[in-house]
């Protein structure tokens, strides 16, 4: 246990903590707050996953030279999903669809 000399801090901590007023929270309010926070965490996780995928796709595009502007030594700032997923040959842009 704690040394006797250190015991003086114990009541001060209790007293400082007891200054916090805890409001009673209803069951529905509690569940709603928890679900809202979970939803926010999922959105944040989804955003982070999207950023990672975009970064990985960008790296792939640079390494393989696919997409517009993918020359060695240059960083392609934007990645065209159309170019990356089309059957166009590497280094070429897909021809626009003509109706």
For residue 92, the surrounding DSSP H or E stretch is none
How far is 32 from 10, CA to CA, in rounded Å? 36
Q: Which is nearer to another protein, 52 or 75 (CB)?
A: 52
How far is 88 from 77, CA to CA, in rounded Å? 20
70 exposed, middle or buried (CB, 10 Å; 0-12, 13-18, 19+)? buried
Q: Identify residues 25-84 at the interface with another protein (CB under 8 A).
A: 25, 27, 30-31, 33-34, 37-38, 41
* 69 Cβ contact list (under 8 Å, min separation 6): 76, 77
Q: Which is nearer to another protein, 48 or 63 (CB)?
A: 48
Q: How far is the CB of 46 from another protein (least distance, A)?
A: 16
Taking CB under 8 A as the rule, does residue 2 contact another protein? yes
Q: Identify residues 14-33 at the interface with another protein (CB under 8 A).
A: 14-20, 22, 24-25, 27, 30-31, 33
Instruction: Please give the residue ranges that form the binding site for another protein (CB under 8 A).
Output: 1-2, 5-6, 8-20, 22, 24-25, 27, 30-31, 33-34, 37-38, 41
């Amino acid at each position: 246990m704690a040394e006797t000399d250190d015991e003086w801090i114990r009541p001060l901590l209790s007293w400082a903590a007891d200054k916090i007023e805890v409001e009673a929270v209803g069951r529905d309010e509690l569940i709603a707050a928890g679900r809202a926070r979970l939803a926010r965490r999922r959105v944040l996780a989804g955003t982070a996953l999207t950023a990672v995928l975009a970064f990985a796709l960008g790296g792939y595009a640079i390494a393989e030279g696919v997409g517009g502007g993918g020359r060695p030594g240059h960083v392609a700032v934007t990645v065209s999903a159309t170019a990356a997923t089309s059957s166009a040959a590497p280094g070429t842009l897909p021809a626009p669809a003509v109706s």
